[in-house]
Every structure is written in C-alpha cells, then in structure tokens.
Amino acid sequence: MSIKGKVVVITGASSGIGAATAKLLATKGAKVVLGARREERLQALSQVIGDNAVYQVIGDNAVYQVTDVTDRQQVRALIDLAVSKFGRVDVLYNNAGTMPQGNLSDREYDKWQMMLNVNIMGVLNGIGEVLPIMQKQHDGLIIATDSVAGHVVYPASAVYNGTKYAVRAIMEGLRQEEKEHGIRSTIVSPGAVRTELVNTIGNTQIQAGISELMNADDRQGLALNPEDIANAVLFAIDQPKHVAISEVLVRPAQQEV
C-alpha cells in the first residue's frame, strides 16, 4: 500500500511525535496538513518538509494552520484547509496531548480540566469534524496517540490515565460504529518518549525522575525517540484497506510498566 499522495492531517505537529511523523510521511510522498498552536514552529517545519521531501507533488506538499484542538472551530478550519488544498482527507492523526502529573489529593482542578479538554475533547473534536468527509469518501483512517498510561494505571497519574483509557474506548467505539463506512481507527500507545510533553508534567519531583530517562543513552533502552513512534504510525497507514491495525503498543525495551 503506497503512502504517496495520501492526505494526512496531524495535530500536535509542531514538535516531537507529530513533527517526526510529518517528516517521515513526507519522505514517502504524503501531503501533510499540520496543526498546532505555535505558528513559527509550523512554518519552519512546513518549509523543511517542502525543501527536503523525497517526492515532490504539484503544489505544496505541506501546509499548516494554527490549531488549538480544544477549539472546535479551529479544528474545523484545519480539516477545511486539507479539503480545500488537496480535495480529501485520507488520514487524521489526533496527536496533541498534555500530561500534568500529581496525586488526586493535590486537587489540581485546573490541570485536570485542561487534560480533559486536550486529551479527550481534542480527540473528539477531530473525529467529529472529519467524519462527514470520510463518510462521504467511504474511506479514511483516524489515528490517536494514546499511551502505555491508557493500558496500565500507576500512582500520581490517575487523571492522565483516565484520559488515555477514555481515548482507547472512544477509538474502539469509532471502529465499531464506522466500519460499514470504510473508516478504520488506530491507537498508538507509546511508553516514555523524548518529547516536550515532559515539560507539561508540572510536578518537579516526578519531572526530574522522568528527565533522567529522557537523557539516557539509546543503548540503555529507557526511552524512545519520536521517530520510533512515527514508524509505528507509518505502519498503521501503510496497510491495505481490508486491514485495520487497532492498537500499537510501543515501549522502550527496559521500561518496567
């Protein structure tokens, strides 16, 4: 199954997994539509992709739209950009996320609400805005970045765990509801990855411990690189239409949970 020519919308695209995925897919000939909050990052990334993509297409092969996934109107504008520029949406990759950490007794209501808004509503906003297009096409793949935290619960992460378990449920419901419309769903669940997501942890003690993992050498097998997850996303996209990759769980080789 060729990636060349596929139109892929990516949220959380300005850094980390989103940026790595955009670069990789572009080298395979995909047309990428990038959404995130930081315009300068998006502009720089789209320029890098346009200059260095192995396959050049007629017109731009990378476009961007400033997008806060908690704002449904902005998500709609991102999807509309893909359709107006390239005529369709083959893949939506809901990748934006945040992961403040802390015990429930800390009562950090604002952080809890932010996680609900970004990690759950951000995914639902993407699904809701792209489904009419994919139903009309009778074709499409919706991917979400989940987490090992959506499979295993651990202390100081109950709310984050909850949001990621919710994403698993939503994406499975999506699969069941939309399979007759030719729409497939995939979650990619990474373990520890060297991305800026670590900067959203908030709890200094927890962040210090995780930062040690991020600084470990690859040979120690304690953390993944964004490119490792991009490869998993590519695998899910690069399947024939009769194959649905429902879940991909990717851990560092030495991760305990």
Q: Whole-angstrom Cα distance, residue 231 to residue 237?
A: 10
DSSP 8-state class, residue 6: -
Question: Which residues are bridge partners to 142 per DSSP?
Answer: 92, 185
The number of beta carbons lying within 10 Å of the beta carbon of residue 48 is 15
Torsion on CA atoms 116, 117, 121, 122, rounded to nearest 10? -120
CB 229 within 8 A of CB 190: yes
Which residue in 220, 174, 71, 41 sits closest to 62, CA to CA? 41
| Catalytic residue (one of 55, 109, 154, 160) | 160
Q: Three-state DSSP class for 208?
A: helix
Known active-site residue 93: no
Contact 64, 35 (CB under 8 A): yes
CA distance 59 to 71: 29
Contact at 8 Å (CB) between 141 and 175?
Answer: no
As given in the structure block, the two tokens for residue 90 are 């083959």
What order of strands is seen across the sheet that includes strand 7-11? 62-66, 31-36, 7-11, 91-94, 140-145, 183-190, 247-250
**What residues are annotated to the active site?**
160
